[in-house]
Structure 1
Amino acid sequence: MDGEKMDKTPMYQYVINDIKRKIEAGELKPHDPLPSQIDLAKAYGTSEITSRRALSDLVQEGYVYRIRGKGSFIQENPAFAEAKPIRSIYLAHLNHTIEGFNHPFFSNMFDGINTVCEENGIDFHLWDIGPDNVLPNDPHAGIILLTSTANDSFDPSRLTVWQQENRRMVTVHFYYPHLGIPYVIVDNLTGGYLATQHLLSLGHRRIGIIITGNSILEVNQEFSLRLQGYRLALSQHQIPFDPDLIACVSGFDERAEMGEEGFRRLMALDEPPTAIFATSDYKAFGAIDEARKRGMKVPEEISIMGYDDVKVSAYSYPTLSTVNQNTHKLGERAAEILLFEMKEGGGQLLKDEIVPTLIQRGSTGPAPRRQADPS
């Protein structure tokens, strides 16, 4: 460190001011690398948390840019930086329950957001926008918006209002690309494709799907995309799409009973499937229970595929083949876009799609010999 800190300025602000001084004096030039968080902390005799916050604020103020895996560098035109740094990030939602947030989709996403926040000295909180759709009274907060579920009453016109207020927002899970709002989503189409392709690779050619919705025309955004992935995988194997193999079951909260109902419908067909893709683990557990009641062996007589990778799926019997949505990464990316990539008034559409991962376990196996693909 070049000089001693003589006043009561917070240490993170002292680091910021000193780096700005070096930029203005020409000691640091555009695209020069900065020390790592650890080395910066050593240089200023402070903690790594302090150096993280200093670097984060310099990024948000436009003095520094980051390249993943390479480090932090001085911006080309830092003199024009005017953005005020984000001090807090809120996951804003409408009417989600604490019980629902225990689902790994949400809990892993929260952990991902919090990981980035802790690394950069940022507070992270949940915020229910309530029936009046009200955001925190902090115009400089970063907002990760979880806007829509099957039972909420979110008013999309509020998005335009918040844009006019220059709120720094990114949406997750659902998205509104026509408004130019940055978003991060899980690639549900790829997830549905991976689940179906896995069953196809095992020789199954008659594959049923249990999906949440009152009808095939009343399926929400995420399940609709999983259905598209299912159809895409079938088409690539020249297997005709059969609407009879779609079991739509009504419900809001995913429940095992929905899987039981869907299984019964599919097994009642004149030519029942040899494998079932249940579009949530809870429905898959219900399908397995119903198969057991009928004396059917899983996976020897019927393969059952889930989606979500809830914790118990690794310990059930049989263990459940499923799709992990990688929502920890979704949370990380949402926070990173807010903190490091979004510029006030920039008008650019930032987006990211997180690719899910297939988890192969014991509930899926080769198609029964008499029904397997003769090829």
Structure 2
Amino acid sequence: MATIYDIAKKTGYSITTVSKVLNNYTDVSDKARKKVMDAVTEMGYFPSSSARMLTTKKSWTIGVVFVESAGIGMEHPFFSSVIENFKKNVERFGYDLLFASNQIGNEAKTYLEHFRYRGVDGIVVVCSLLNDPEVEKLMKADIPSVVIDLDSKGSSAVYSDNEYGSELAVDYLVSLGHRSIAHISGDQGLFVGVQRLKGFKDAIQKLNLSISDEYIVDGGFFTYEGGQRAMEALLRNRVRPTAVYAAGDLMALGAIDTIRKHGLSVPEDFSIVGFDDIQMIRYTAPALTTIRQNTDLIGKTAANLLLDQINENEKQSLSVKIPVTLIERDSCRKI
């Protein structure tokens, strides 16, 4: 098995120069970098993790934790897409991801204790829960960290412009002639649920629309089943809305299922708008009009914020709000 000494001997460069190339230092010429990397490929060299740690004082590992009420975690299309994009951006710089458990051996540990035990260089938290004590500990710790899908004063944060997204949805439905617009909201213990409901109410007020309290129904934790139950409640209204804005795509799909079970259709009887733009909704019938979250940019921005902290060895508290866009498909019609 090739060693760093073999690479140095083959290329004619010192061990120090070879080490700098392998650890992405910038003070190396392009010529030296190319020659060393060509030798690495040719000789099949792989640095051991312990050697890298001794050389760079880093573990080259980033801890990942999901904190959300539905227990879906990586199975949720939005979360999986964000983490996949985050992963692509940190892998380019040699980092691996460690998905957290609160159990080490047979002993229960907090996420913070787990990450300290593993010696991670930084932490990314995907979290929609407001005031979660585990997240608060992670954010206040001295380990570089970034939280996705939640604003945080104790850490860097990346989240979509949820309020504006709701305004886009309402404005679009009004432009089609709708005035009786209902909202299937997310749970109000969740950051995105609060933000999207606030955006809906602000848009309704701005447009001087009169909306019955019965037109706002809690869909819970952004699940398909939550959307089904919320739509059942909306259908019990004596005067039904002509349009429904759901705070998540899965809830929107659940609402469409309930509409069909009652012998009604979309968009003929109800116009529906979702939020997220998860991949599956492009292939539903009708294809769902929705508010797109830019998961590529969310993942990339979160990665850059965390890597900056790791490289500078300094905890930072920066909040970045990512723009959203309306994606018009087939689930809405003019009236």
Q: Are 1:245 and 2:227 counterparts?
A: no
**Which position in structure 2 is the counterpart of 1:226?**
196
Residue equivalent to 1:59: none
Cα offsets for 1:318-361 (capped at 9, x unmatched): 11112221222211111111213667575653221112222211
Report how far residue 102 of structure 1 moved: 2.4
| TM-score normalized with structure 2 length | 0.77
Change (3 A) 1:100 1:342: closer
1:125 is matched with which residue?
98
Share of identical aligned residues, percent?
28
Q: Structure 1 residues 259, 98: closer, same or farther in 2, change over 3 A?
A: closer
RMSD of Structure 2 on Structure 1 (CA) = 3.4
Per-residue Cα deviation, 1:226-272 (whole angstroms, up to 9, x for no partner): 111112222232223532210124x44x4333222222222222322
CA distance in 1, matches of 2:198, 2:70: 29
Q: Where in structure 1 are there 5+ consecutive unaligned residues? A: 23-34, 51-82, 368-375
Contact 2:144–2:309 at 8 Å: present in 1 too? no
User: 1:22-101 alignment to 2 at 5 Å?
Assistant: 40=30, 44-47=34-37, 87-94=60-67, 100-101=73-74
Query: So what's the TM-score if we normalise by structure 1?
Result: 0.70
Question: Aligned equivalents of 2:17 and 2:225: distance in 1?
Answer: 56
Partner of 1:204: 178
Aligned counterpart, 2:121: 141
- 1:284 to partner: Cα distance: 1.2
Amino acid in the other structure paired with 1:304: I
**Which residue pairs with 1:110 in the alignment?**
83
Separation (CA, whole Å) in 2 of partners of 1:224 and 1:84: 41
Distance 1:113 1:227, change over 3 A: same
Match of 1:362 in 2: 330
- Asked whether 1:171 is paired with 2:178, we answer no
- Residue 134 of structure 2 aligns to a residue whose secondary structure is coil
Change (3 A) 1:157 1:210: same
C-alpha distance after superposition, 1:128-160 (max 9, x if no partner): 345523242355612112355489762624543
Structure 1 CA distance, aligned partners of 2:76 and 2:159? 17
Separation in 2, partners of 1:96, 1:46: 49
Residue 276 of structure 2 contacts residue 292 of structure 2 at CA under 8 Å; is this kept in 1? yes
Larger proportion of helix: 2
